[in-house]
A and B are shown apart, each in its own frame.
Chain A
Amino acid sequence: MKKLAFITCIATTIIMVSCNSSVKRHPNDAYIPDMGYSRAYETYADHSNLKEKGIKYNNMPVAGTVARGEDFPFPLAHDAVGDTTNYHLSKTVPNPYDSLSETDLVEAERLYLVHCGICHGKKLDGNGPLWKDGSGPYPAAPKNLITLNMPDGQMFYSITYGKGQMGSYASQLSRKHRWQIVTYIKEKQKAGK
């Protein structure tokens, strides 16, 4: 009798507790929250009111400085709407890399596949997964990078500021990476011809 009673009450408890299965939309409480949340400003903290608090902070690099390991700045600014002067001038900007070492080439290929291959294709043929011969979600045909006849500097200009439907990749790729990808494309063009 008593055994039976124990079993029923434990079963009831389990059923009661396991009845909790909806989508969890709110986080749990934190244990000692002053150690859980950073007192210092973290990356995605609200930086909007620093000035009001009297905190002097500039998140832009100091003008005229170059980060260690980074290439020198590109000399041309983005054209205003309706102007193509700098786009044409960019043909004359030389590529700082003549060729890439084997490890750099592997790295450039990896970066190409992450950032460019999605549209321009693994084989640089302008047929990536987003275009898929016109059946993908992207409405504009990406350029075939093997047959594209474009000087290095202009390619860099296009990656940096965007061209046509392509956006700017300056926030995703450093100048060094952009030049290396341009060099990678040029090497692939040589191999493809």
Chain B
Amino acid sequence: MTIYRSTTKTILFSALLLLSVAFSNKAVAQDGKALFNANCASCHKLDKDLTGPALMGVEERWGGSREKLIHWVKNSAAFLKTGDKHANELFNKWNKIPMPGYDGILSDADINAIFDYIAKGAAPAPTDNKAAEVKPVEKSNNNLLFGILTLILAIVAFVLINVNSNLKRLANEEQGLASSLPIPFWKNKTYITIIAVALFVTGGYLTTKGAIGLGRNTEYQPVQPIFYSHKVHAGVNQINCLYCHGGAEGGKHANIPSVNVCMNCHKAIHEYTGPALVDGNGKEVNGTEELQKLFKYAGFDPKNANNWNPNDAKPIEWVQIHSLPDHVYFNHSQHVVAGKVQCQTCHGEIDKMDEVKQVNDLSMGWCINCHRETKVQFKDNGFYSIYEKYHNELKSGKLDSTKGITVEKIGGTECQKCHY
């Protein structure tokens, strides 16, 4: 009986051991990645230098000694004092930025798991081939074709009209009717009228269009010094408009970000890997090359990223697109903070534009129309608290709260609101 019991015990024990080994192996392999992402990834990457060196092949560089590495990870300052040559060289090479100690945070097993993960190397990220295959949309220009067609039609019409008049003349002669002498077409009143009317209509249209278009720039889409895609930044990567254009809630201008704001992210992001970029003319743009332009302005060397000095940056001269004449006052913060108007209301779907273009004409009629239709955001808005009468009338139901108070009602169409 005792023998039987002990054998069952051994079998059970070994089974448990086997199980635990099998499970723990799996757990360790996964843990390595998770632990790396949680503790190391903010300064280290496997294949690229960040704040700290790239970790691929770190064990070979350290002479294959895990013990040294574990000591270093736990307390790098203490390890430096042991006078290890490689460690001290590294420390000096990386601007003497100390690596934080992980003693008490990571156990030996944890650190081993991380180094196992590093040794295996990260599984190659699934490459998105579809993105590369997207061909730029080719905009065909049909203007020439339409022009030729129009010309052919005009000639056909001219010939047909001539044939018609000749046939009429012949028919008349056949019947013995007197027919007038053929008039050359430059003396023919019909032709003269047609040309005069055509000139008048075309000229009138172009003059009116030109006059209205003075100072208005709908569809204006200039070439910028760097192909910066709002679609990639504000659309795909969901960066808030105010991250870069914070001035829109602080004052008159929605400021253009200075180079240091670009470098907040691009100090670490050196290449573009998203879907193909296409400019307004249908030409494909290389995002990584555009980033090189930014680095040139910033005085930044991607190979020596940790020694970048923001004072070396030179401003980028972006081309202004939206412009109001000097005789009208427009304030961004009034609209964004007090009015709670979305950026897209005036600027269009910026988050879907690779190259920004002006969507609205920014004419006075366009401003006034919006002021007539837009309801003032009265609710929970300190800016409009002085309109007590309106607040009371809305509350008592004297004013229809579904219709609300338009901007016009609080003086939003008075001349001196914008012109003074």
Contact = CB atoms under 8 A, between A and B. Distances in A.
The 8 closest A-B pairs by CB, nearest first: A141-B41, A167-B264, A31-B214, A23-B280, A82-B96, A36-B325, A9-B198, A38-B326
25 contacts: A2-B193, A5-B190, A12-B150, A12-B154, A24-B220, A24-B357, A25-B222, A26-B220, A26-B222, A27-B323, A30-B215, A37-B326, A44-B256, A81-B95, A82-B95, A115-B243, A139-B45, A139-B50, A139-B268, A140-B41, A141-B37, A143-B42, A165-B50, A166-B264, A167-B267
A172 B150 CA distance: 57
A21 B143 contact: yes
B38 A144 contact: yes
Contacts of B255: 43
A138 B96 contact: no
B186 interface: no
B194 interface: yes
Interface stretch (A50-58, A129-137, A180-188): A129-137
A159 to B, nearest CB: 11
Interface string A158-192: 00000011111101100000000000000000000
A140 B326 contact: no
Main secondary structure of the interface of B (DSSP, over half): loop
Interface residues of B, number: 75
Contacts of B281: 23
A138 B219 contact: no
Nearest to A21: B143
Contacts of A144: 38
B201 A9 contact: yes
Interface string B43-60: 101001011000000000
B268 A17 contact: no
Contact of A140 (B50, B198, B217, B310): B50
Given A82-B95, A165-B42, A137 B215 contact: no
A93 interface: no
Which size bracket describes the interface of A in this complex? 35 or more
A130 to B, nearest CB: 6
Interface in B261-289: 261, 263-265, 267-269, 273-274, 280-281
A129 B263 CA distance: 18
B242 interface: yes
Could you say which of B96, B141, B252, B268 has the most chain A C-beta atoms within 10 Å of its C-beta? Answer: B268
A65 interface: no
A24 B221 contact: yes
Contacts of B325: 30, 35-37
A149 to B, nearest CB: 10
B216 A28 contact: yes
A167 to B, nearest CB: 4
A82 B43 contact: no
A1 interface: yes
A13 B198 contact: yes
Given A16-B150, A82-B97, A138 B265 contact: yes
Nearest to B196: A9
A84 interface: yes
Contacts of A37: 325-326
B214 A118 contact: no
Contacts of B265: 130, 138, 167
Interface of B: 37-38, 40-43, 45, 48, 50-51, 95-98, 125, 141, 143, 146-147, 150, 154, 157, 190, 193-195, 197-198, 201-202, 205-206, 209, 213-217, 219-223, 237-240, 242-243, 246, 252-253, 255-256, 258, 260-261, 263-265, 267-269, 273-274, 280-281, 307, 310, 320, 323, 325-327, 357
A83 B96 CA distance: 7
A114 B52 CA distance: 28
B220 A30 contact: no
A97 B156 CA distance: 84
A114 B244 CA distance: 10
A105 interface: no
B269 A29 contact: no
A22 interface: yes
B236 to A, nearest CB: 9
B215 A31 contact: yes
Nearest to A35: B327
Given A13-B198, A19-B146, A38-B326, A137 B256 contact: no
Contacts of A136: 237
A17 B125 CA distance: 52
Contacts of A63: none
A20 B209 CA distance: 13
B157 A28 contact: no
A140 B43 contact: yes
A15 interface: yes
B214 A1 contact: no
Contacts of A9: 194-195, 197-198, 201
Contact of B214 (A25, A28, A81, A142): A28
Given A16-B202, A24-B221, A141-B42, A168 B260 contact: yes
B243 A171 contact: no
A7 B376 CA distance: 48
B311 to A, nearest CB: 11
A27 B201 contact: no
Interface in A107-134: 113-115, 118, 129-130, 133-134
A168 B141 contact: no
